[in-house]
Structure 1
Amino acid sequence: MGVAIRRAGEGDRETVTQLLDEAFQNDPVSSWVFPDADHRRRTHPLLMRVFLDTVLDAGYVDVMEDGSACALWLSVPAEAHEEDEDGPAQVREAVDPDNERVELIGRLTAEAHPVGAAHEYLWMIAATPERQGEGLGTALVRHVLERCDGEGRAAYLEASSARSRVLYERLGFVFTGSAVDLPDGPQMWPMWREPRAPETARP
């Protein structure tokens, strides 16, 4: 594709937050969390910043060198670990205290998250609206999946639309069989990918 991928740092916070906000403003899940469009325009960037801060602190963010796309990842260990029960409530308090959906989506996705196997967790992936559909997201995901295949490591994500689910299936992800049903809202599809042997790593 001709665009380099690099690891984001502290100096990328504003750019990546804006990228996430623009990419997900009209996403079905974001629209469910913030049903009122005016309120969403004001508050959605705060949620994206909290998500980004969480991943920069505990994981890593890959960005296209030209700033057109990014992917947020967490490395999840195999050993059992205590879930942060207060995490979703803290996000709600920081972003939109009167909006229970901010907290609920965090709790529902945490309940669906597989345990017991080490994996890379694709928290979010985004491309600027004018560059969506150009394969930038696929390039970012493959960048990590190639490493996963080399290390024998699984990967996991939640697809937030039927279109993205199809894209991830092409990359080897499989629906876990239990959807996340947002009350009076859209579905999310948890998807798991086992590492592939080198000769079959790329579809």
Structure 2
Amino acid sequence: MPVKDLEKAASSTIRSAYERDYKTDREKRDHIHRQVYGLVDEDVVINGITYPVIDLSVLTTAKYGNVVQFLITAFKAAGVRPDTPFHMNSESKYPVDMANTYRYVEYNVIGGGMRLIYDVTLGNLFLSAHYSDPSLVIASTDDSAEQLELNDIMTSLRLTQRNLERHSDGTYFDGTHDDRLITYARSDSAFRGWLMNKNSGQVTETLKKYGLS
């Protein structure tokens, strides 16, 4: 069921709706993810792929500031998916890039199968529900509160992507970064959280180098 009064819904109500898995076509149609991007009612085409848009500025103007604040808070708290930090885009739901396997960082966000995907190449942020319906998250009003919040989030996402890539491709272990590894972990909470998650498979010696064990 869609949230009946989304404009006045508390964060707990919004979260509960996002966490709800859908099992039927009707539940998928009525899921809050579609409800939210339906409020904006805008599509954008990127590399031939059409995405519905979640425009935080439009939602704020339309008096859904509670939804915007919920999403921003959720994005800030999102953790890198431990076992698959880099989304391989095997279903081609995002622009295909055979050359850069580190292009898309995948985050667990909100719950109930929700995923946040960051595209480092184009600087895009996508929110998806239950492995379908990826939508592009933007804030179209320059210098608005939601635009500034999204800018901060994107800055953090770029930093985390860089740390994940350099960790994963071995750059951080070429002997020239040893005295900075602790700083990298301390300054990036999402990267640090991923390192410390047992499902990311980091060995004790690696954690020691980052000052985490």
TM-score, structure 1 as length reference = 0.30
Greater gyration radius: 2
Scaled by the length of structure 2, what TM-score is found? 0.29
Q: Whose RCO is larger (CA < 8 A, sep 6+)?
A: 1
